[in-house]
Chains A and B, each alone.
Chain A
Amino acid sequence: MFHALVAVKQVPDTTNIRIDPETGNLIRQGVPTILNPYDAHALAAAVEWKERLGGRITVLSMGPMSAISSVRECIELGADRGIIASARQFSGADTLATSYVLAEMIKRIHEKDPISVLLFGKQAIDGDTAQVGPGVSIRLGFPLITYAVKIHEINLKEKTLVAERKSEQYNEVIQVPLPCGITCEKEIASIPYASLPNLVHSLKYEPEVWTAEQPIAFPPDQIGIKGSPTTVFKTTQPELHTAGEVINTADTGVAPAVKTAIEKIEAAGILDMPEGCA
């Protein structure tokens, strides 16, 4: 039976982030949180394959309890089971501690209900690290296809999956044995419309909550801040660049503005503009 597990993260919508100009800190208040966009596409791929093969989809998210809304969104789109890993002890985790918790939980899920495919977004937009997918897969010993743009085939009998990824030189079509991990680009699948029954179901759906003690008792030194080798030493605001001169074509006309621009580029010695260009 086909069983896809999708790891999803709830993230602040980074387009709407504002910084306190006095303190340089993030103003979290009023910043909406969203399901990480790449994860939504990973889920969409799982939904497509569930339609073809039958089976089910589990979503797993580590984060504060507010992640319930992201998990409900996944149920709406076609996931069957939602689990939230939420505990004070998990907080402050870097990608190593995150991949540890997710991998341990996935092992537990896998024992009872074997997983065919693990799906991740290519990266989470709050940190853009793209490390959790590879981290979890290597911990589980699953072969991994990153930056997948297309799943060509999932063969449950042969226990193989064929997917395509884009690297700098090639589009690589790769075959891996199941179970495997995949990190997804947006092209992998488009987000489906939620069906009415799913919508209704998701409103009442209560995800399972797993803590640092239940059902897995995590060693405290492996999780959260204690289990994270990296720490933020300091944060600053991006350097402000000084704006250069601005010419308005409404004042000068187009041709003279362009002439000035070419002169300045030449004068900066940056371009070997053709001699006599300006």
Chain B
Amino acid sequence: MIRRFWVFIEQVECTAHPVSWELIGVARRLADQVRDEATSAGDTVVVEAVVVGKDVKAVAEEGLQYGADHVYVVEGEVFAHYRNQAYARALVMVVQKYKPEVFFIGATTLGRDLAGAVATSLGTGLTADCTRLEMGEVKEGAGKLLLATRPAFGGNVIATIVCRTHRPQMSSVRPRVFPMPEKVSKVKGDVSYEKIPIKEEEIGAKIVRLIQNEAGSAKIEYADVLVAGGRALGGPEGFNLLKDLADVLGGEVAATRPCVDAGWISVDHQVGQTGKTVRPKLYIAAGISGAIQHKVGMQDSDFILAINRDPHAPIFEVATLGIVGDLFEVIPALIQQVKDAREVQHA
């Protein structure tokens, strides 16, 4: 028997979403966790990926470089732009053909849209937004299952979910929760093409218009430095101050949900349970109280500098370093000191 650990490679216009590679890294680690069990049963374990789109051979090959043993490609005009029905149908067909044991999909807008439809069609379980993934025994001697762990009830509880009898065991995973694997220099896997008979007429949805998101559309998940602000900023002008600091540090601006709800900044800047998960090298939290729904999205950052007037603010519980003080004094001082030092350096 071949035990297949599968990853969906998400691409838009032949650019892969990096979460795809992060998931290949996870699949590789989990495949290793069942290697002994498989070997003694005479089974082999493989990490494979599937990509759907139009002219996506280059993306498939990139998948091999990130460590997939094999990539299945589904190509065609109907897949040129993502549509739920077309992509779901394609994935369901390849899954039914190869019967993977585990199947991961990135919890992006596209991935979440797709994963729910695919899992339902397959009649299998799906655990959304996992933050930890392991292969482990639930019952002694019964073989390892996917242990999918995720926050529930607004991050107040961490639940580990299993899918005992249905296959594949499916999970969606947010970008940046798991590290990016190294690219391998010598690719050993290969690519194959799957024929999926779907005609344009069978797909109900037609794309009328695509409006490119403004250049401002922030990719905060992949920034090394984030300067995040909360309600204390008092309005959109407050974010200009944070932008100045982000600029001198070469980072991006992020925000809590109330700022987004108030329209001070667009939603693609929101960090947290209903926003994005980030793990920058440096996260500066200015005027953020540190509600659990915010913390779950940023607490794995390498260095957290929190600035808050209230010494009892919960953000200090996760901060590497806290400054109790007024952000409108501290942030300008930070900007000034970094700038001054640059000038000294260039002098």
Which residues of A are interface residues toward B (Cβ below 8 A)?
A: 12, 14-15, 17-19, 24, 26, 94-96, 99, 125-135, 137-139, 143-147, 162, 166-177, 180, 228-241, 243-250, 254-255, 257-262, 264-265, 268, 270-271, 273-278
Checking A144, A239, A264 against B117 with a beta-carbon cut-off of 8 angstroms, the contacting residue is: A144
Q: Is B76 an interface residue (CB 8 A)?
A: no
Checking B158, B322, B326 against A245 with a beta-carbon cut-off of 8 angstroms, the contacting residue is: B322
- Contact residues in B for A174 (Cβ distance below 8 Å): 205-208
When the two chains form their complex, are residues B213 and A177 in contact, meaning their CB atoms are under 8 A apart?
no
Q: A94-B125, A131-B126, A168-B12 are contacts. A278–B281 as well, Cβ < 8 Å?
A: no
Q: Told that A26-B156, A275-B341 touch, could you supply 8 new A-B pairs with CB distance under 8 A?
A: A94-B125, A99-B120, A125-B274, A127-B128, A138-B117, A145-B205, A234-B160, A246-B316
Bound Cα distance from A170 to B211, whole angstroms:
5
When the two chains form their complex, are residues B206 and A233 in contact, meaning their CB atoms are under 8 A apart?
no
Checking A167, A248, A260, A268 against B311 with a beta-carbon cut-off of 8 angstroms, the contacting residue is: A248
Q: What 8 A-B pairs come out closest when comparing CB atoms?
A: A14-B154, A249-B325, A134-B116, A143-B204, A277-B341, A229-B125, A230-B125, A246-B322
Nearest CB in chain A to that of B303: its residue: A270
Nearest CB in chain A to that of B280: its residue: A270
Q: Report A26 CB to chain B, min CB distance, Å.
A: 6
25 contacts between A and B (CB under 8 A): A17-B153, A96-B120, A96-B125, A128-B274, A143-B204, A146-B109, A146-B113, A167-B82, A170-B212, A172-B209, A174-B208, A175-B207, A176-B206, A230-B125, A231-B164, A233-B138, A236-B160, A238-B155, A243-B317, A248-B325, A262-B337, A265-B321, A274-B342, A277-B342, A278-B341
When the two chains form their complex, are residues B109 and A166 in contact, meaning their CB atoms are under 8 A apart?
yes
When the two chains form their complex, are residues A177 and B204 in contact, meaning their CB atoms are under 8 A apart?
yes
Pair count A-B, CB < 8 A:
280
Question: How many B residues, CB 8 Å from partner?
Answer: 91
When the two chains form their complex, are residues B212 and A169 in contact, meaning their CB atoms are under 8 A apart?
yes
Q: Is B289 an interface residue (CB 8 A)?
A: no
Chain B facing A: main interface SS: mixed
Q: A254-B329, A258-B337, A270-B303 are contacts. A241–B116 as well, Cβ < 8 Å?
A: no
When the two chains form their complex, are residues B323 and A249 in contact, meaning their CB atoms are under 8 A apart?
yes
Bound Cα distance from A99 to B123, whole angstroms:
11
When the two chains form their complex, are residues A258 and B323 in contact, meaning their CB atoms are under 8 A apart?
yes
Bound Cα distance from A175 to B206, whole angstroms:
5
Bound Cα distance from A105 to B267, whole angstroms:
35
Interfacial residues of chain B within 76-130, with CB under 8 A of chain A in the complex: 82, 84-85, 88, 108-110, 112-113, 115-117, 119-121, 123-129
Bound Cα distance from A70 to B17, whole angstroms:
39
Q: Report A3 CB to chain B, min CB distance, Å.
A: 19
When the two chains form their complex, are residues B320 and A244 in contact, meaning their CB atoms are under 8 A apart?
yes
When the two chains form their complex, are residues B153 and A170 in contact, meaning their CB atoms are under 8 A apart?
no
Q: Report B43 CB to chain A, min CB distance, Å.
A: 23
* Interface mask (B197-218 → A, CB under 8 Å = 1, otherwise 0): 0000001111111111100010
- Contact residues in B for A94 (Cβ distance below 8 Å): 125
- Contact residues in B for A12 (Cβ distance below 8 Å): 153
Nearest CB in chain B to that of A145: its residue: B205
Bound Cα distance from A145 to B323, whole angstroms:
45
Bound Cα distance from A171 to B138, whole angstroms:
43
When the two chains form their complex, are residues B302 and A246 in contact, meaning their CB atoms are under 8 A apart?
no
Q: Report B62 CB to chain A, min CB distance, Å.
A: 18
Checking A134, A262, A271 against B84 with a beta-carbon cut-off of 8 angstroms, the contacting residue is: A134
Q: Is B159 an interface residue (CB 8 A)?
A: yes
Nearest CB in chain B to that of A103: its residue: B120
- Contact residues in B for A170 (Cβ distance below 8 Å): 210-213
- Contact residues in B for A249 (Cβ distance below 8 Å): 323-326, 329-330
- Contact residues in A for B161 (Cβ distance below 8 Å): 230-233
Find the residue from B116, B154, B158 having the highest chain A CB count within 10 A.
B116
When the two chains form their complex, are residues A133 and B116 in contact, meaning their CB atoms are under 8 A apart?
yes
When the two chains form their complex, are residues B85 and A273 in contact, meaning their CB atoms are under 8 A apart?
no
Checking B113, B153, B163, B345 against A26 with a beta-carbon cut-off of 8 angstroms, the contacting residue is: B153
- Contact residues in A for B125 (Cβ distance below 8 Å): 94, 96, 228-230
When the two chains form their complex, are residues B317 and A255 in contact, meaning their CB atoms are under 8 A apart?
no
Nearest CB in chain B to that of A129: its residue: B128
Nearest CB in chain B to that of A125: its residue: B154
Checking B109, B155, B209, B317 against A167 with a beta-carbon cut-off of 8 angstroms, the contacting residue is: B109
* Interface mask (B128-149 → A, CB under 8 Å = 1, otherwise 0): 1100000000100000000100
Q: Report B93 CB to chain A, min CB distance, Å.
A: 14
When the two chains form their complex, are residues B318 and A168 in contact, meaning their CB atoms are under 8 A apart?
no
- Contact residues in B for A232 (Cβ distance below 8 Å): 159-161
When the two chains form their complex, are residues B337 and A173 in contact, meaning their CB atoms are under 8 A apart?
no
Q: Is B256 an interface residue (CB 8 A)?
A: no
Bound Cα distance from A77 to B205, whole angstroms:
30
Q: Report A74 CB to chain B, min CB distance, Å.
A: 22
When the two chains form their complex, are residues A276 and B157 in contact, meaning their CB atoms are under 8 A apart?
no
Nearest CB in chain B to that of A236: its residue: B158
Q: Report A141 CB to chain B, min CB distance, Å.
A: 9
When the two chains form their complex, are residues A128 and B129 in contact, meaning their CB atoms are under 8 A apart?
yes
